[in-house]
Amino acid sequence: MKFVDEIKRRRTFGVIAHPDAGKTTLTEKLLLFGGAIQEAGAVKSNKIKKGATSDFMEIERQRGISVATSVLAFEYNGNKINILDTPGHKDFAEDTFRTLTAVDSVIVVVDVAKGVEEQTEKLVEVCRMRNIPMIVFINKMDREGKDAFELLDEIEQKLNLTVTPLSFPIGMGYDFKGIYNIWEHNINLFTGDPRRDIEETVEISDLSSSELDQLVGEKAANNLRDELELAQGVYPEFDLEAYRAGRLQPVFFGSALNNFGVRELLDCFVEIAPTPTPKQSDVRVVHPEEKEFTGFVFKIHANMDPKHRDRLAFVKIVSGKFERNTPYLHVRLKKNLKFSSPNAFFAEKKEIVDTSYPGDIVGLHDTGNFKIGDTLTQGEELRYRGIPSFSPEHFRYINNADPMKSKQLEKGIDQLMDEGVAQLFKLELNGRKVIGTVGALQYEVIQYRLEHEYGAKCTYENLNVHKACWVDPQDPKNEEFKDFKQVKARYLAKDKKGQLVFLADSAFSLQMAQQKYPSIKFHFTSEW
Tell the CATH superfamily of the 3-177+236-272 domain.
P-loop containing nucleotide triphosphate hydrolases (3.40.50.300)
Given CATH 2.40.30.10, say whether it is the number of domain 279-377: yes
Q: Which helix (H) or strand (E) covers residue 296, if one does?
A: strand 294-302
**Rg of the Cα trace of the chain?**
25
CA distance 141 to 151: 12
CA distance 508 to 68: 35
Query: How is residue 218 annotated by DSSP?
Result: H
CA distance 354 to 40: 29
Burial of 54 (0-12, 13-18, 19+ CB in 10 A): buried
Please give the pLDDT value at position 302: 66
Amino acid at 274: P
- Least confident stretch, 17-31, 43-57, 169-183, 270-284: 43-57
pLDDT classification of 349: cutoffs 50, 70, 90: low
Query: How is residue 91 annotated by DSSP?
Result: G
- Asked if 23 contacts 109 with a C-beta cutoff of 8 angstroms, the reply is yes
Return contacts of 181-184, CB within 8 angstroms, 24+ apart: 181/264, 182/228, 183/238, 183/264, 183/268, 184/264, 184/267, 184/268
**For residue 250, which of 148, 147, 137, 157 has the smallest C-alpha distance?**
137
**With 60 as the cut, is the pLDDT of residue 110 above it?**
yes
Q: For all residues of the chain together, what is the average pLDDT?
A: 82
Q: In what side-by-side order are the strands of the sheet with 167-170?
A: 167-170, 178-181, 186-189, 200-203
Please give the pLDDT value at position 21: 77
Q: Which helix (H) or strand (E) covers residue 335, if one does?
A: strand 335-337
Domain boundaries, the chain: 3-177+236-272, 279-377, 394-523
Classify 34 as helix, strand or coil: coil
Which residue(s) pair with 300 in the sheet?
313
Look at the chain and count its residues.
Answer: 528
Please give the pLDDT value at position 376: 93
Please give the pLDDT value at position 427: 95
**With 90 as the cut, is the pLDDT of residue 133 above it?**
yes
pLDDT in tens, 429-446: 999 999 998 778 789 888
* Topology (CATH) of 394-523: Alpha-Beta Plaits (3.30.70)
Query: How is residue 390 annotated by DSSP?
Result: B
CA distances from 471 to 87, 109, 176, 394, 505 (A): 30, 38, 57, 19, 15
CA distance 416 to 210: 62
pLDDT classification of 57: cutoffs 50, 70, 90: very low
pLDDT classification of 91: cutoffs 50, 70, 90: very low
What value does the mean pLDDT take over residues 309-314?
75
Amino acid at 240: L
CA distances from 200 to 189, 346, 347 (A): 6, 30, 31
pLDDT classification of 348: cutoffs 50, 70, 90: very low
Query: How is residue 42 annotated by DSSP?
Result: B
Burial of 156 (0-12, 13-18, 19+ CB in 10 A): middle
pLDDT in tens, 278-294: 998 889 999 999 999 99
CA distance 26 to 28: 5
